[in-house]
Chains A and B, each alone.
Chain A
Amino acid sequence: AQSVTQLGSHVSVSEGALVLLRCNYSSSVPPYLFWYVQYPNQGLQLLLKYTSAATLVKGINGFEAEFKKSETSFHLTKPSAHMSDAAEYFCAVTKGNTGFQKLVFGTGTRLLVSP
């Protein structure tokens, strides 16, 4: 069965600092991996996804993530944090190429950005 582990329920950075949110996955078959972002009192929206094409994936708002099979990781990074990046971030995994999609989400990481 697929699962994801997000290390750190809260991450605090200063504005302009590097953002690194960690996600490790477990999957017996080639996975598809996603990062979703949730702003306060809103639903989730897709930030980026890995679907077995390029291992370095670029998303919206300057975020990117690198799929590393040897480390079973899909960490999310942004070179310079902005106050508007404060939100909760969820990593999710599903089986690739099965037609129907059933996501398994991590427990989330809340990103706090200070001036």
Chain B
Amino acid sequence: NAGVTQTPKFQVLKTGQSMTLQCAQDMNHNSMYWYRQDPGMGLRLIYYSASEGTTDKGEVPNGYNVSRLNKREFSLRLESAAPSQTSVYFCASTTLSGSSGREQFFGPGTRLTVL
């Protein structure tokens, strides 16, 4: 199993450009998440998908959109990139059934720089 995979690993954009970050998991998980990590701020939730067919805003959704393409894939789109979106982006997944004490599995991250 590859676990959670993310593409690309690195990306440099100019202000105003758009791009889509891809995430896929092969663990048959229901729930998927997008986080951003900034120095001194920990991980903040951007969007999440509790199950296939649903998406919801997290703590910092402005400037982003998401698509839950199928059970495996959850993409994050920046329509018009801004320097404030320079960050490391992580995708994660977990199962939905049972209690909320389950492990989230994280991808390796995408390092995005917006000039």
Q: Quick check: B96 and A43 within 8 Å, CB to CB?
A: no
CB nearest to A51 among chain B residues: B101
Closest chain-B Cβ to A63's Cβ sits at a distance in Å of 15
A70 at the interface (CB under 8 A from B): no
Q: Quick check: B42 and A43 within 8 Å, CB to CB?
A: no
Q: Which of A42, A52, A101 contacts B31 (CB 8 A)?
A: A101
Closest chain-B Cβ to A47's Cβ sits at a distance in Å of 10
Contacts of B104 in A (CB 8 A): 44, 46, 101, 103
A42-77 residues at the B interface, CB under 8 angstroms? 42-46, 49, 51-52
Contacts of A105 in B (CB 8 A): 35, 42-44
Q: Quick check: B107 and A51 within 8 Å, CB to CB?
A: no
B75 at the interface (CB under 8 A from A): no
Contacts of B97 in A (CB 8 A): 99
With A90-B43, A102-B48, A107-B41: A43-B106 Cβ-Cβ less than 8 Å: yes
Q: Which of A45, A102, A106 contacts B45 (CB 8 A)?
A: A102
A90 to B41, CA, bound (A): 11
Closest chain-A Cβ to B31's Cβ sits at a distance in Å of 6
Contacts of A9 in B (CB 8 A): 40
Q: Chain B's interface: helix, strand, loop or mixed, by majority? A: loop
A42 to B43, CA, bound (A): 14
A46 to B106, CA, bound (A): 9
B53 at the interface (CB under 8 A from A): no
Contacts of A41 in B (CB 8 A): 108-109
B94 at the interface (CB under 8 A from A): yes
User: Can you give 24 contacting A-B residue pairs, CB < 8 Å?
Assistant: A32-B101, A42-B108, A42-B109, A43-B106, A43-B108, A44-B43, A44-B90, A44-B92, A51-B101, A96-B100, A98-B99, A99-B99, A100-B31, A100-B100, A101-B94, A102-B45, A102-B48, A102-B58, A103-B45, A103-B104, A105-B44, A107-B40, A107-B42, A108-B42
Q: A34-B103, A98-B100, A105-B44 are in contact. List 5 more A-B contacts (CB 8 A).
A: A42-B108, A51-B99, A96-B100, A101-B31, A106-B42
